[in-house]
Amino acid sequence: MEQILLLEDDESINKGISFKLQKEGYSVVPCRTVAEAEAAFCREEFQLMICDVALPDGSGLDFVRRIREGSSLHIIFLTALDQEIDQVMGYEAGGDDYITKPFSLSVLMLKVSAYFRKQKNSAGERLESGNICFYVKEMRALVSGKEISLTKNEWKMLQVFMQHPKQILSKKQLLAQLFDAEGDFVDENTIAVNIRRLREKIEPDSSQPEYIKNVRGMGYLWDKECRGM
């Protein structure tokens, strides 16, 4: 579930936005001060933040400047200030969008849903895990920034593993992915051979794999987190 950090000091506006976002299916952490938001940001992971500018214990602009470096968080500024210079300052601080009060909740929801829809449409075009970067549409893979050569089966296998991290995949499931069928008439040793060859190309030490782990009697597991870009 997409998680949103809401920083708005006005209690009624905070509650109204929180209620609407939760009704739309989002997880919301509402905050009314910079201190609360900083604590939440350090404690949890968010994909989007709705941030007021004028707050009782500081500036939303300053808060965004502090967290922006190294963060891909999408930030929508929400403020009563509507002069052009205020908007420019918001974007320069690291904001991605801007809504001035009074505002329509429907417009805010449209901006939020548009962002997450765009993310879903683009997710999976590039997958990253550890030092591996996999370009799905281009059928390219880089290990520590260096491109590696993959066969069609190795490419399919790497894709299914990285799209299902931390999930045990049986040999039958992998055969179905490799041959687009149930694989009932394919030698299961084919999987072991392809696994071995793939490990030799992506693992720092193929004899002690970090990415593709055997789960005895069950199948194989991609043992690192993956993220779509």
Residue 221: predicted pLDDT: 94
Residue 201: predicted pLDDT: 96
* Residues of the chain where predicted confidence (pLDDT) is lower than 50: 181-185
Nearest Cα to 227, choosing from 119, 104, 91?
A: 119
Is residue 18 within 8 A of residue 30, CB to CB? The reply is: yes
In sequence order, the 6+-apart residues with CB closer than 8 A to the CB of 106 are none
Residue 182: predicted pLDDT: 42
Domains and CATH numbers, the chain: 3-122 (3.40.50.2300), 126-228 (1.10.10.10)
Per-residue pLDDT tens for 205-215?
Answer: 999 999 999 99
Residue 181: predicted pLDDT: 43
| Count of alpha carbons within 13 angstroms of residue 123, beta-carbon side | 11
Residue 82: predicted pLDDT: 66
Residue with tokens 């060859």: 197
Q: What is the DSSP string of the chain?
A: --EEEEE---HHHHHHHHHHHHHTT-EEEEESSHHHHHHHHHHS--SEEEEESEETTEEHHHHHHHHHTT---EEEEEES--SHHHHHHHHHHT-SEEEESS--HHHHHHHHHHHHHHHHHHTTSEEEETTEEEETTTTEEEETTEEE---HHHHHHHHHHHHSTT-EE-HHHHHHHHHTS--TTS-THHHHHHHHHHHHHH-SSTTS-SSEEEETTTEEEE-S--EE-
Task: Tell me the C-alpha distance between 1 and 19, whole Å.
Answer: 16
Is residue 69 within 8 A of residue 22, CB to CB? The reply is: no
Residue 34: predicted pLDDT: 97
Task: Tell me the C-alpha distance between 229 and 227, whole Å.
Answer: 7
